[in-house]
Structure 1
Amino acid sequence: MKTRHSKTPSQQCRYYEVDNIFEYMYETYINGNHSQLKILYKELRREARKEFIAFCFEMVSPQHRMQIMQAIV
């Protein structure tokens, strides 16, 4: 499968057939698919990556927040 790069959140939602790509990414991490989270993160545009980090600080529990940040770096 070809690697996807520089996609907007709405493009990712359509591609993965989900309502909210950031929630999908978080659920992917919770389900133990850490490498998939990193792939999904790298597919996003720079602005969307910042939005995902903001989502993590607003919606993700503190215990998972640091782990997610470490997984995507």
Structure 2
Amino acid sequence: MAEVLDHLEDVKLENKILLDKISREDVKGKEHELLLTSELVQLQKYYTFEKMSLARLARLRSGVEVFQFMKGL
């Protein structure tokens, strides 16, 4: 689980400038108008990676919970 979180944090750091840019108040809601096409593509890749990482983390956590439950029987 730690590897998934570490990798997610690494990718966040790689995209820090873009993520900071979209979190600005003057950009929120106007991303399609204010971001370059390449930035929109990169943002979509980041969101896809983030969703996959969080899903992977949830599956790992569920697996750990199942093993802990089985251990208690």
TM-score by length of 2: 0.29
Asked which structure has the greater RCO (Cα within 8 Å, sep 6+), the reply is: 2
**TM-score normalised according to structure 1 size:** 0.29
Structure 1 or 2: larger helix share?
A: 2
